[in-house]
A and B are shown apart, each in its own frame.
Chain A
Amino acid sequence: MLIKEVSDLRNISQKTLNEMFQISKIKFQVGSATCGLATGAGQTLSFLRELSANQPDKYIVDEVGCIGLCFKEPIVDLRMPGCSRIYYGDLNIYKAEKLVKSLEEGDIRKEWVLYRLDKEKFINEDEINLASDISDIYREITTMEDLNLFKGQMRIVMRNCGRINPEQIDQYIAFGGYKGLFKVLKEMSPDEVIEEIKASGLRGRGGAGFPTGLKWSFTRKAEGSKKYIICNADEGDPGAYMDRSVLEGDPHSVIEGMLIGAYAIGADEGYIYVRAEYPLAIKRLKIAIKQAREYGLLGQKVLGTDFSFDLKISMGAGAFVCGEETALIASIEGLPGEPRPRPPFPAQSGLFGKPTNINNVETWANIPVIIAKGSKFFSSIGTEKSKGTKVFSLVGKVKNTMLIEVPMGTTISEIVYNLGDGMSDKFEFKAIQTGGPSGGCIPKDLIDLRVDYEELTSAGAIMGSGGLIVMDEKTCMVDVARFFLEFLESESCGKCVPCRSGIKRMLQIIHRITQGQGEEKDIELLEEMAKGIKDASLCGLGQTAPNPILTTLKFFRTEYESHIKHKRCPAAVCKALIEYRVIPGKCTGCQRCVSVCPTHAITGPRSQAHNLDKSKCIKCGACYEVCKYDAIAGDAIILE
């Protein structure tokens, strides 16, 4: 069937909403994105599917994307006819079996429920009441709104993630999808679309924060009739997975955004460049593209108008630098992914030499909402210069490791302590790393910093793509700097000398420091080299490569000094500078460490404090990892 009129969209929407919400059976929805699958959601799903195949009159099962609470995966939600929706966490197959048994006895296993949802709210402000009447048992369950880890979150990009089946275009339409496309094709001129995006204040979410409307206008104005648009889904920053989640959970939001962009810019062909590490995202995108074609949303004469546009997927092959726009373009063309100097910018000469507009996944996913709800809605959210929301992956040493979407301007302290619920282990917060290898580490003193482009830059970090890695006192900042240099050294494409050789030299120096062989002049030398590499490198990779070093030097200089002057790693991380020992008063003699020690360095009879032979210890940390009594200490030593 081809969609041509708004009424077609409305019909699909009505019908699908009825199917989704007017249920007469018990309905399960299983979060089956990559993080869910890694924790066993696949088995839970198979079990529930079998259950509904055997008892089709009683149960229905659907799949949804990632709702963001990755640390509670597998997440399954349950709705009985006429009741609120309730969300279960950690629902592996064993618990799922138990749950079904309990349900048959009329027990919803309240103790496993994370929260309940009484109303399904849509981005266009419509809502559906899920429960006509909330029973006493349900009342005892916290509502979503009352849960700390949702307070202060606002969902624009992730509006549908975890709520719809990403492989069903009808569900995207039911939740208000493709209305924005209709609006632009039927009611707006391309210039009006660009003005609307400009007015919204949307800036690129791929890292640099360039105003999106302005970028579109460059490509629109560029000479030539053939133009391309590209979605950058290379997501190379380690510690960031927002784009994966959006593609796996709501691929149509990106496709609709690209359609709107193509119309505004005057492009008839687009590419989505996805990294090969994301097979599920690629699979779901392929399905989504196929479904959009079947409805006539992609292809010739979209919605019966004169506008034509089609999409191809291009798969990355594992090179971080391919996230850089000129390298990415080279990679699509079938060349090694090496950046080239700009200008000319892709807007003048991009893919196959044609004017090309490139935006990040999250940038594209914002577009349909800006169009459907208007630029004023969007620009009312956020700070003076950073509008809208930002999705972050909150990971590292924080209790709730998850995806969050918050208005720009939310403080780091709110993110770490309210949403993240503080530290995961018993150690104190030390720093948060933003912006990936181009970013920096923000120390505890700056915890009230608000996340917007300017404030983060002023602290020496950058917004980047949205990875927030929380570090505690057991994280060594010199080791973190070494980690990023190692990353950049192996990912530098090698085309320009400052980046290729400069990073290598810096890495050698910092490696020496972590080995306890640093010299007094090293810090100055690092600072000097950092400046040179920043100024002389060809692309963003080299230009920002020194950032992790510079911010750690700025905020954690004493840690460097301790490594250099005292040959001591205060966080007890750098292996050359630590030593493991058994704490006799705490050791119960359970022999777990004895059984995992690969070199038989730990000995001792059961129920007596064990003994660790330092001459045999290879510092693998296996004993530390398994000890339940905190009886193994990894101590910072002073190297003689």
Chain B
Amino acid sequence: MDNEVYIIEEILSRFPADPEAVIPILQDLQASLRYIPEEAVILIAERLNIPAAKVYSIATFYNAFSLKPKGKHLIHVCLGTACHVKGANDLLEKFKRELEIEEGETSSDGEFTLEAVRCIGCCSLAPVIRVDEETFGTLKQERIPSILEKYRAKSEGQEC
């Protein structure tokens, strides 16, 4: 927790006390902490001298921000038009079954958060998913377990 406050303060110190900075601050916070903690909303409001309700409304308006902590790895299943007509829904269902979660949720081991997005701009390779920074194109359900395995192994490697 203390560590979180420290990170929040550090991020705040990078920006001018200007209401325009609220979205970039939230973006950096989301990237560092994988969510927007409640104290952050209050600290940002104090720092930028705007009502906390306003920060809150922004944090909930944009899809990129989450008030709940996200998993170590973020899975984005594209449900854009090109991916949709190429069967992206079946991929999403497969992820749900494999991880035993619904869209928008985090797996019980805290490894993965599953999200549907609308087009990641790789439509020529539809259906497409992205895990963290890596994009997988022309994906079939069959490959999904091995992709999850790979990322699980990655987390284990980091913990050692």
Contact = CB atoms under 8 A, between A and B. Distances in A.
A396 B86 contact: yes
A469 B119 contact: no
A491 B117 CA distance: 11
Given A317-B63, A334-B21, A483-B81, A277 B120 contact: yes
Contacts of A241: 119, 121-124
Nearest to B21: A334
A596 B141 contact: yes
B124 A402 contact: yes
Interface string A386-429: 00000001011100011100000000000000000000000000
Interface in A209-258: 235-241, 244
A469 B142 CA distance: 25
Contacts of B8: none
Contacts of A393: 123-124
Contacts of A35: 122, 124-125, 137
Contacts of B123: 238-241, 393, 395, 401, 467, 469
B147 interface: no
B124 A395 contact: yes
A70 interface: yes
A238 B119 contact: yes
A449 interface: no
B52 interface: no
B69 interface: no
Interface stretch (B23-31, B105-113, B151-159): B23-31
Contact of B126 (A278, A331, A395): A395
B6 interface: no
Interface in A304-334: 314-320, 331-334
A487 interface: yes
A38 B27 contact: no
A571 to B, nearest CB: 10
Residue of B86, B94, B124 with most chain A CB atoms under a 10 A cut-off:
B124
Contacts of A277: 117, 119-121
A469 B85 contact: yes
B58 interface: yes
A20 interface: no
A318 B74 CA distance: 15
Interface residues of B, number: 47
Contacts, number: 158
A402 B118 CA distance: 19
B62 A337 contact: yes
A543 interface: no
Contacts of A338: 61
Nearest to B116: A490
Contacts of A469: 81-82, 85, 123
A480 interface: yes
Nearest to B78: A238
Contacts of B85: 396-397, 469, 471, 475, 480
A168 B57 CA distance: 41
B81 A239 contact: yes
Interface string B70-107: 00000000011111111100100110010000000000
A-B pairs with the 4 shortest C-beta distances? A238-B80, A70-B124, A318-B63, A317-B62
Given A320-B118, A483-B81, A622-B94, 20 more contacts: A38-B122, A38-B125, A38-B136, A38-B137, A236-B118, A238-B84, A238-B118, A238-B119, A276-B64, A279-B133, A315-B23, A317-B23, A334-B58, A336-B62, A401-B82, A402-B124, A469-B81, A475-B85, A596-B141, A625-B140
Interface of A: 34-35, 37-39, 70-71, 73, 235-241, 244, 276-279, 314-320, 331-338, 393, 395-397, 401-403, 433, 436, 467, 469, 471, 475, 480, 483-484, 487, 491, 493, 596, 598, 620-622, 625-626
